[in-house]
Amino acid sequence: MGVVAEQVESASVDANGYIGRIPVRNLWLLMLYASELFRTRGIGKVGLEDNPDDLPDLVAEILAHAVEVRQRRRLNLGYRSRDAVLNRVRGRIDVLNTERHRLLDRGLVACRFDELTVDTPRNRFVRAALETIARIVQRKDVSHRCRSLASGMKAMGVSGDVPTRAQMSTDRFGRNDADDRFMVAAAKLAFDLALPTEVAGTNVLTLPEREVTWVRRLFEKAVGGFYDVVLQPQGWRVRCGGTLGWQIEQKTSGIDKILPTMRTDVVLDHAPSGRRIVIDTKFTSIVTSGWYREETLRSGYVYQIYAYLRSQVGRGDPLADDASGLLLHPSVGDAVDETVVIQGHGIRFATVDLTASPGEIRSQLLRLCEPALQ
Three-class secondary structure assignment of 23-34: EHHHHHHHHHHH
Q: Specify the DSSP class assigned to residue 268.
A: E
Which pLDDT score is estimated for 3? 52
Structural domains present in the chain: 35-76+119-199 (no CATH), 78-117 (no CATH), 211-367 (3.40.1350)
User: What band does 120 get if pLDDT is binned at 50, 70 and 90?
Assistant: confident
User: What tens digit of pLDDT does each residue of 295-346 get?
Assistant: 788 888 999 999 999 999 998 899 999 999 999 998 877 788 999 999 999 9
Higher pLDDT, 290 or 352: 352
Query: Residue 222: left if φ>0, alpha if ψ -120 to 50, beta else—which one?
Result: alpha
- What is the pLDDT at residue 6? 53
46 pLDDT above the threshold of 70: no
Q: What confidence tens digit (pLDDT) does each residue in 56-68 have?
A: 888 898 899 989 9
Above 70 in pLDDT, residue 261?
yes
Q: Report the C-alpha gap between 51 and 72 in whole angstroms.
A: 30
Residue 292's pLDDT is what? Answer: 59
**Residue 23: its pLDDT value, please?**
77
pTM for the full model? 0.73
d(CA 89, CA 95): 12
> Quick check: 291 and 247 in contact, CB under 8 A?
no
Dist CA 352 CA 333 (whole Å): 9
Q: What is the Cα 354 distance to its own chain's centre?
A: 17
Q: Which of 77-81, 201-205, 267-271 has the lowest mean pLDDT?
A: 201-205
Give the CA distances from residue 324 to residues 243, 266, 342, 348, in Å, rounded to whole numbers and listed in that order: 16, 12, 10, 8
Please give the full DSSP string across 203-255, using - where no structure is assigned: SGGGSHHHHHHHHHHHHHHHHHHHHHHHHGGGT-EEEES-EE----S---TTH
The confidence score (pLDDT) of residue 141 equals 92
What does the pLDDT read at residue 4? 56
Q: For 159, how many CA atoms within 13 A lie in the half-sphere containing its CB?
A: 7
> What SS3 state is found at 113?
strand
Whether residue 212 is predicted with pLDDT greater than 90 in this model: the reply is: no
On the question of pLDDT at 259 being above 60, the answer is yes
Look at residue 20 and tell me whether its pLDDT is greater than 70.
no
- Over its C-alpha atoms, the chain yields an Rg (Å, rounded) of 26
Q: Pick from 78, 73, 60: which is nearest to 148 by CA?
A: 60
The phi and psi torsions of 58 (rounded to 5 degrees) equal: -70, -45
pLDDT in tens, 262-306: 999 999 999 999 999 999 998 777 766 656 566 788 888 999 999
**Rounded-to-integer distance, Cα 309 and Cα 32, Å:** 30
Give Cβ neighbours of residue 22 (< 8 Å, ≥ 6 apart). Answer: 4, 7, 8, 332, 354, 355
What is the dihedral angle through the alpha carbons of 267, 272, 236, 261, rounded to the nearest 10 degrees?
-10
H or E segment and range at residue 301? helix 299-310
